[in-house]
Amino acid sequence: GRGGRISGGARYQPFSESKEQMNRTLFIRSINYDVTEQQLHELLLKYGPIKSMCLKIQQRGIAFVTFNDIRHAEKARNELPSTDVNGRLIDVHYSLPQEDSSEEAINNATLYVVIKDPKEEFTSAEVTEHFEKW
């Protein structure tokens, strides 16, 4: 059946939170197989605009969801774990980074700031200090 066991009798493996790093993509597991894409989308949209969703709900009870803004992903990551969705508590984590050196993967949570026509000169360290609170 579709209980808490993986096929072949293997036990449920805990997610390695020690490898988690904050990013815009969440890994959601333990999703009830009857949950629709629309239901999941509506639940997650409460936290902010969604860039993309990769769903394997009916096959594996998992989804990868990428938010446009890392702050929205952080809020969803903090508030959604153990939320009951169609009678089953979901498990939410930051997606682990892939072994991918593409520019998109490297810059997943990087903010680029362009300052045009500055009124005075400044150093890179001064810009970093000014923006690091965000």
pLDDT averages per 10-residue partition of the chain, 134 residues: 43 56 93 95 96 93 95 96 93 80 53 73 79 68
Report which of 88, 85, 30 is spatially closest to residue 62, judged by C-alpha positions.
30
pLDDT given at position 129 = 80
pLDDT given at position 7 = 42
- CB within 8 Å of 64: residues ≥ 6 apart: 25, 26, 27, 28, 53, 54, 95
- pTM of this structure: 0.62
pLDDT given at position 12 = 47
